[in-house]
Structure 1
Amino acid sequence: MGCEQIIAGTGQPVKPHVHACLKTKTKRRGTLIGEALTLQELEKRYDKAIAVNGVSLTIRAGEFLSILGPSGSGKTTLLTMIAGFESPSSGQIMIGRRDVTYMAPNKRNIGMVFQRYALFPHLTAAANIAFPLRMRRINETLVRRKVEAALAQVHLDGYGDRYPHQLSGGQQQRVAVARAIIFEPPVLLMDEPLGALDKKLRETLQLEIKGLQQRLGATVVYVTHDQEEALTMSDRVAVVANGRLAQVGSPLELYRSPVSAFVGDFIGRMNFLEAGYLGRENGNHMVRLRGGNVVATAPAEDEVNPFPLGQTVSVAVRPERLSLAPHGRDRGAILTGTVDAAVFAGSFFLFFVRTQSGDDSLLQIQMPVGHVAASFRRGDLVDVIAESNALRLFANLEA
């Protein structure tokens, strides 16, 4: 079979491409190139400031994990410590069975893709891609064959002789990805690699990067502040706040079952309603919404202790789990309000409803396009209805 590659998990050969021929030995059937990455109590201090605070995380071999968080949350510092550009103040970093905590970056065998591409301007696309192989003194015939395959893999056939300034932003990023993976690193780090691209191109490259990662079986750690990007591409997402892990889980878990108000607010759209805690009833937590009715909610997973009676709490609900009805038509309404704006978004209407809570808060309600949704107009008095088990209870909005 020579330098043909076995597609992981299928046993089917494919023609040589970006990863097919680097090693002298042919890969065994079903073998992935990725290795597990383990972070143990990782910490980074700058004088008295703590950028990363006690992060422990195991990323499985072949997994695509995104580190998601707002600016200043510590996500990029975490990535640079994995890459070796920053030394941790304490803790341990393992790639497979290798302790790389204080190993030089060039010894870690890690691929890296940056937001600004970091291509050599004086080298052609082909020479940029070939650079990691030539640094490893790979046979030149093999280098040329690998580079040709890599260009095809990232849809840049015929572009090898062009210089970075002759390529578009998306093409430059494809070159950067090909350069990062051509030497078959067990771990590939990506630091907001699509942040400089327009929305349509970004969405296209998201699918290409994810598809490439799945075919190769590489372990990917992907830093982003874009929630939609993280949910689209990842097997799991690690949400970071104030240097700590706020929650780690699948995109669906984070969206449906956030463990804190911060995670719920950061992942997708979320409404927060102020309420007073009334106690438990039939296993449910009962609250009285400000300006609304008494409703039953489920607690967040980390809220194991009951709240004191009368404590002010936050009730969270996704816009798509709410609907509107003309005032007085539905006895199950949780709130009454006035339609402040109605936005047509193609497949759904997004309504902004000013509630009667006394604080002029606006509630977002997302309803599918149809006769009922289209009938509501600005100024209409409406009742807000929540789906069963849609309301979640949190102590506050802190991370």
Structure 2
Amino acid sequence: MIGQTLALKGLEKRYENAVAVDGVSLVIRAGEFLSVLGPSGSGKTTLLTMIAGFENPSSGQIMIGPQDVTFVAPNKRNIGMVFQRYALFPHLTVAANIAFPLRMRHMSESLIRPKVEAALAQVHLGDYGNRYPHQLSGGQQQRVAVARAIIFEPPVLLMDEPLGALDKKLRETLQLEIKGLQQRLGATVVYVTHDQEEAMTMSDRVAVVANGRLAQVGSPLELYRSPVSAFVGDFIGRMNFLEAEYLGLENGNHMVRLRGGNVVSTAPADDDVSAFSLGRAISVAVRPERLSLAPHGRDRGAILTGTVDAAVFAGSFFLFFVRTQTGNNRLLQIQMPVGHAAATLRRGDLIDVIAESNALRLFAKTEA
């Protein structure tokens, strides 16, 4: 299997009173695993169904390699598809389900059998060919669906929340199996999910979608460390947002006064600082693991003072919820290692909040 480049150019899908996909342009490289991540109603599934050919775009173009497939029938696009609900034929055996795409292509039976055996081996179901779907677990059925999608060696493989119906432990196991299989086959994969952890674990790049548009495209690390908007920062992992007043530049640093706290320096979300004027209300974002706590008065570098509202033990770390005068009625979340001295803090303790260097990011005012 050799993956091909998939290019979307100005893709739009409009309905009478709504725009589901709004001008999406994106190139998915040959052999790349790209996840399309977004909340319900963001347009990610509509985007996938247009690539598959189940929906025609209102405008724009879809290219697979050098071929324009924008209005080509689904069965002529040579695309593999894996659905959340498996979509297996209940009256066919596992082997017959997997062989179905080859029989539809009129391949000889002498060639089909070894291909089915190889596909079963790839998804670790070598002895299950004679069983029926109802005799399999959910995870096994999904493996069959994957085997059926890859058996005809499509250059592009589309997956629409394929693990959404499985329990957490099985889902995590199959995430690694699907990613390993994709790497061995070299297929180009577009994987739709609303699960940020799933997207971050499996993907070479992630395309975050909001209101039918691409909010940001980048590697999981880029999205986590350098979100370009408050929406992306809040959607990818935990993020605290603090209300602040913009005070301007000082020695190259952007200075803000936190509501209920001190004057601190922040890093802008991008190089365009013209959007921030003196005295403007803005948001400062910071990840929970880049904050720490200390008993009140022990650290002169504190950015805020507050009280511990709750401390949750999460195995390798404590997650503290701290009540401060930050202005948005959300408790500040702070993640600290179990062995840290602050782990002895309890509800009601007066504490100071300390931020790591360059941990704070500046965004336009948000209600997030």
The corresponding residue for 1:131 is: 100
Pick from 266, 277, 282 the counterpart of residue 308 of structure 1.
277
Pick from 19, 30, 43 the counterpart of residue 50 of structure 1.
19
Instruction: Give the deviation of 1:359 after TM superposition.
Output: 5.4
Which residue identity does 1:49 align to in structure 2? A
Instruction: Give the deviation of 1:45 after TM superposition.
Output: 0.2
* Contact in 1 for aligned 2:294/2:342 (Cα 8 Å): no
Query: In the alignment, does 2:176 pair up with 1:207?
Result: yes
C-alpha separation in 1, matches of 2:293 and 2:184: 45
Query: In the alignment, does 2:115 pair up with 1:141?
Result: no
* Contact in 1 for aligned 2:99/2:112 (Cα 8 Å): yes
The corresponding residue for 2:295 is: 326
Instruction: Give the deviation of 1:282 after TM superposition.
Output: 1.0
Comparing 352-361 and 60-69, the one that deviates more: 352-361
Which residue identity does 1:280 align to in structure 2? L
C-alpha separation in 2, matches of 1:269 and 1:303: 25
Instruction: Give the deviation of 1:356 after TM superposition.
Output: 3.0
Instruction: Give the deviation of 1:157 after TM superposition.
Output: 1.6
* Contact in 1 for aligned 2:230/2:366 (Cα 8 Å): yes
Instruction: Give the deviation of 1:369 after TM superposition.
Output: 1.2
C-alpha separation in 2, matches of 1:248 and 1:357: 30
Query: In the alignment, does 2:2 pair up with 1:33?
Result: yes
Instruction: Give the deviation of 1:160 after TM superposition.
Output: 0.8
Pick from 335, 350, 365 the counterpart of residue 366 of structure 1.
335
Instruction: Give the deviation of 1:272 after TM superposition.
Output: 0.3
Instruction: Give the deviation of 1:341 after TM superposition.
Output: 0.5
Instruction: Give the deviation of 1:305 after TM superposition.
Output: 1.6
Instruction: Give the deviation of 1:373 after TM superposition.
Output: 2.9
Instruction: Give the deviation of 1:36 after TM superposition.
Output: 0.1
Comparing 328-337 and 280-289, the one that deviates more: 280-289
Over 3 Å counting, the alpha-carbon distance change for 1:227 and 1:302 in structure 2 is: farther
* Contact in 2 for aligned 1:261/1:398 (Cα 8 Å): no
Which residue identity does 2:42 align to in structure 1? S
1:357-391, Cα deviation, whole Å (9 max, x unpaired): 46543100000111413211111100000000000
The corresponding residue for 2:123 is: 154
Instruction: Give the deviation of 1:184 after TM superposition.
Output: 0.3
Which residue identity does 2:186 align to in structure 1? G
The corresponding residue for 2:69 is: 100
1:250-284, Cα deviation, whole Å (9 max, x unpaired): 00000000000000000000000000111111111
Which residue identity does 2:123 align to in structure 1? V
SS in 2 for 1:152: helix
Report 1:1-399 matches (<5 A). Answer: 33-301=2-270, 303-357=272-326, 360-397=329-366
C-alpha separation in 2, matches of 1:96 and 1:153: 26
Over 3 Å counting, the alpha-carbon distance change for 1:42 and 1:311 in structure 2 is: same
Instruction: Give the deviation of 1:301 after TM superposition.
Output: 1.5
* Contact in 2 for aligned 1:350/1:364 (Cα 8 Å): yes
SS in 2 for 1:179: helix
- Where structure 1 has 5 or more consecutive residues not aligned to the other structure, the ranges are 1-31
C-alpha separation in 2, matches of 1:277 and 1:246: 25
Which residue identity does 2:167 align to in structure 1? D
Instruction: Give the deviation of 1:85 after TM superposition.
Output: 0.2
C-alpha separation in 1, matches of 2:267 and 2:234: 17
C-alpha separation in 2, matches of 1:195 and 1:269: 21
SS in 2 for 1:87: coil
* Contact in 2 for aligned 1:213/1:220 (Cα 8 Å): yes
Q: Normalising to structure 2: TM-score of the pair? A: 0.98
Instruction: Calculate percent identity across the aligned residue pairs.
Output: 87
Instruction: Give the deviation of 1:306 after TM superposition.
Output: 4.1
Which residue identity does 1:326 align to in structure 2? P
Instruction: Give the deviation of 1:302 after TM superposition.
Output: 6.4
* Contact in 1 for aligned 2:328/2:367 (Cα 8 Å): no
Which residue identity does 1:142 align to in structure 2? L
Over 3 Å counting, the alpha-carbon distance change for 1:105 and 1:302 in structure 2 is: farther
SS in 2 for 1:48: coil
Instruction: Give the deviation of 1:139 after TM superposition.
Output: 1.6
Query: What RMSD in Å do the two structures reach over aligned CA positions?
Result: 1.2
SS in 2 for 1:122: coil
